[in-house]
C-alpha cells in the first residue's frame, strides 16, 4: 500500500469537496468526483447527473491526482444495529434509524439491510412496522433497500442456534411470514432459514417464487437437506462457519456441502474473531471473488464504549472488537463495520482492493437484485465512496448517495 501523508490528504479533501459542490441551483444535481479507480488504479473523473453516473472520464495518469480511491458504496446485508441504535428495539423510531444510517454513511455503507433475529411474532411485527417507515423516507430511504429476517425458522439446537433465543424458534409458517411481510410493507428481501427443519423446503420454494432471497444459516443440515434446499431456491449461506456447534462430525457436517455447491454464495464475518485467518483463507479459496460476500453482522453495540450491556433479555460484554456472552464466554455478535472487514480480508487472503470491494458491494448488490448499485458504470446510481488506505484499513473520506454528499471527513 502506498503511504499517504497528512498534507496531500487535505488537498485531496479540498479538491473532492470542491468537485462535489452543486454546480447549479435548480433541482438537478450535477456533480463530479475525481479519484483513483478501485478496479485498475487509474485516475478517473466521474460525472453525476440526476443522482446517476453519467460519464466516466479517464484522466491522464500524469495528472497529479492524489491517492484517494473511488469505489461503489459498501452494501451490508446483515446488520442488527449500530452506534447504540438496535433495529429490534421495540421503542425504535424513525429518528433512531436516521442516526444509525448517518453513522453507517461515515463508514462508507451506502445501502444496508436492517436485520432482525428470532423473536416472538408480535415483536417482529412491531419492529418491521417501525423499520418500514424508513423505506420511503426522503433522506434515508435510498440507503435501506429492504430487510433481512434471520430466523425464527432455524435450528433450536444449542450451538447451531447461536445467540437466538430457543423459546422463539419455530417451524416455518407461510401465513405467519406473510403477516410479517405485510408489516414490513413487503420490505423483507432476505431470510435465513435452516434447511433441515419440518416444512423448510416448501417454505423456501414459496419465498423464491415471491422473489425473496433465501440463505441457509443457524442449521445442522446434512448434504441431502442442503441440496434439497438449494434445489428449492436457496442461494446463500448466512455467516458460514458461525451459527454452528463447536463439535461436529469431521465428514458429515453442514460446512462441506455448502462449500461444495457452487450455487451457494457464502456470506462471512471477517472481523478477525468470528472466523480465524485459515478459515477465511479456505472459504475464500473455494468460493472465490464471485461467491463470497462480506457482512458485518454488527450489533447495535458496535461503535460504543467497551463494557457490559443488556440486550434481548441477556447480559452482553462489549470488548473493543467483538461482543460476547460473559457467562458462557461465547461470541454474541460482531462490533466492527463492514469497512473494517474489507481491510481484514485483504490482510488475511492477500486479495486485491478491487476483490475486497467486489465482496462488500458488487456481490451483495447482484445477489439481492439491486441492479443499479455495486458498480461504477454509466447509468448506475451514484453511490460512491472516496477513501484512503491507511495501515491496511479503509479510511472513508467522503460518502455519496445518489449523487448527494452525505458524509465528508473533517
Ligand atoms: Zn446469526
- What CATH number is associated with residue 28? 2.30.40.10
DSSP state of 28: -
For residue 185, how far is the Cα from the chain centroid? 21
Per residue of the chain (410 residues), what is the pLDDT tens digit?
A: 343 444 444 444 444 444 444 333 333 464 899 999 999 999 999 999 999 999 999 998 766 656 899 999 999 999 999 999 999 999 999 999 999 999 999 999 999 999 999 999 999 999 999 999 999 999 999 999 999 999 999 999 999 999 899 999 999 999 999 999 999 999 999 999 999 999 999 999 999 999 999 999 999 999 999 999 999 999 999 999 999 999 999 999 999 999 999 999 999 999 999 999 999 999 999 999 999 999 999 999 998 999 999 877 789 999 988 999 898 887 888 999 999 999 999 999 999 999 999 999 999 999 999 999 999 999 999 999 999 999 999 999 999 999 999 999 98
CB 214 within 8 A of CB 255: no
316 assigned to some structural domain? no
The reply to whether 167 and 232 lie within a common domain is: yes
Q: Tell me, in angstroms, the distance from the centre of ligand 1 to residue 244's CA.
A: 9
Q: Does one domain contain both 86 and 185? A: yes
Q: Same domain, yes or no, for 79 and 220?
A: yes
Task: Say whether both 90 and 63 belong to one domain.
Answer: no
395 and 287 fall within a common domain: no
d(CA 386, CA 389): 10
CATH classification of the domain holding 298: 3.20.20.140
Q: Which helix (H) or strand (E) holds 356?
A: helix 353-357
The Å distance, Cα 368 to ligand 1 centre, comes to 18
Cα of 352 from ligand 1 centre, angstroms: 28
Same domain, 149 and 41: no
48 and 81 part of one domain: no
Is residue 200 within 8 A of residue 226, CB to CB? The reply is no
Residues 37 and 102 in one domain: no
Residues 6+ apart with CB under 8 A from 302: 81, 82, 83, 296, 334, 335, 336, 337
How many CB atoms within 10 Å of residue 139? 14
Number of domains observed in the structure of the chain: 2
Q: Are strands 81-82 and 188-193 parallel, antiparallel or unpaired?
A: unpaired
Integer Cα distance of 349 and 327 in angstroms: 33
Query: Is residue 323 in a domain?
Result: no
Same-domain check for residues 79 and 221: yes
Nearest-angstrom CA–CA distance, 86 and 92: 8
Domain with 203 in it: 74-303+332-367
Distance 239 CA to ligand 1 centre (A): 7
Write out the DSSP string of 307-339: EEEEETTEEEEE-SSEEEETTTTEEEEE-S-HH
Give the distance (Å) from ligand 1 centre to CA of residue 299: 11
Neighbours of ion ligand 1 (CB under 5 A): 243
Compute, in angstroms, the gap from residue 246 CA to the centroid of ligand 1.
15
Its pTM stands at 0.92
Indicate the angle between helix axes 200-209 and 223-231, nearest 10 degrees.
Answer: 30
Amino acid at each position: 500500500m502506498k503511504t499517504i501523508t497528512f498534507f496531500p490528504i487535505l488537498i485531496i479533501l479540498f479538491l473532492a469537496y470542491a468537485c462535489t459542490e452543486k454546480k447549479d441551483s435548480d433541482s438537478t444535481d450535477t456533480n463530479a468526483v475525481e479519484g483513483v479507480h478501485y478496479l485498475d488504479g487509474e485516475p478517473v473523473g466521474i460525472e453525476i447527473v440526476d443522482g446517476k453516473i453519467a460519464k466516466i472520464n479517464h484522466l491522464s495518469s500524469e495528472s497529479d491526482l492524489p491517492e484517494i480511491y473511488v469505489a461503489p458504496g459498501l452494501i451490508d446485508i446483515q446488520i442488527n444495529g449500530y452506534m447504540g441504535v438496535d433495529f429490534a428495539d421495540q421503542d425504535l423510531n424513525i429518528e433512531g434509524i436516521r442516526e444509525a444510517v448517518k453513522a453507517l454513511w461515515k463508514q462508507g455503507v451506502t445501502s444496508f439491510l436492517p436485520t432482525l433475529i428470532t423473536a416472538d411474532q408480535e415483536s417482529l411485527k412491531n419492529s418491521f412496522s417501525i423499520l418500514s417507515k424508513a423505506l420511503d423516507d426522503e433522506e434515508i430511504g435510498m440507503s435501506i433497500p429492504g430487510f433481512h429476517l434471520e430466523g425464527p425458522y432455524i435450528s433450536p439446537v444449542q450451538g447451531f442456534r447461536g445467540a437466538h433465543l430457543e423459546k422463539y424458534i419455530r417451524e416455518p409458517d407461510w401465513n405467519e411470514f406473510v403477516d410479517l411481510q405485510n408489516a414490513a410493507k413487503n420490505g423483507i428481501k432476505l431470510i435465513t432459514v435452516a434447511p433441515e427443519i419440518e416444512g423448510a423446503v416448501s417454505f423456501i420454494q414459496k419465498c423464491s417464487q415471491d422473489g425473496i432471497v433465501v440463505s441457509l444459516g443457524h442449521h445442522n443440515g446434512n448434504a441431502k437437506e442442503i441440496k434439497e434446499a438449494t434445489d428449492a431456491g436457496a442461494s446463500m449461506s448466512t455467516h458460514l462457519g458461525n451459527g454452528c456447534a463447536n463439535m461436529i462430525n469431521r465428514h458429515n457436517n453442514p460446512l462441506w456441502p455448502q462449500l461444495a455447491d457452487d450455487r451457494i454464495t457464502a456470506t462471512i464475518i471477517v472481523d478477525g474473531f468470528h472466523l480465524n485467518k485459515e478459515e477465511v483463507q479456505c472459504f475464500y479459496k473455494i468460493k472465490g471473488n464471485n461467491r463470497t460476500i462480506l457482512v458485518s453482522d454488527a450489533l447495535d453495540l458496535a461503535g460504543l464504549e467497551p463494557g457490559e450491556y443488556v440486550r434481548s433479555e441477556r447480559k452482553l460484554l462489549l470488548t473493543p472488537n467483538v461482543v460476547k456472552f460473559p457467562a458462557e464466554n461465547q461470541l454474541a455478535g460482531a462490533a466492527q463495520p463492514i469497512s473494517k472487514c474489507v481491510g481484514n480480508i485483504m490482510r488475511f487472503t492477500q486479495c486485491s482492493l478491487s476483490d475486497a470491494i467486489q465482496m462488500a458491494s458488487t456481490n451483495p448488490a447482484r445477489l439481492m437484485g439491486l441492479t443499479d448499485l455495486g458498480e461504477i458504470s454509466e447509468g448506475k446510481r451514484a453511490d460512491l465512496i472516496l477513501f484512503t488506505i491507511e495501515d491496511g484499513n479503509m479510511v472513508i473520506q467522503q460518502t455519496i448517495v445518489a449523487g448527494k454528499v452525505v458524509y465528508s471527513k473533517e
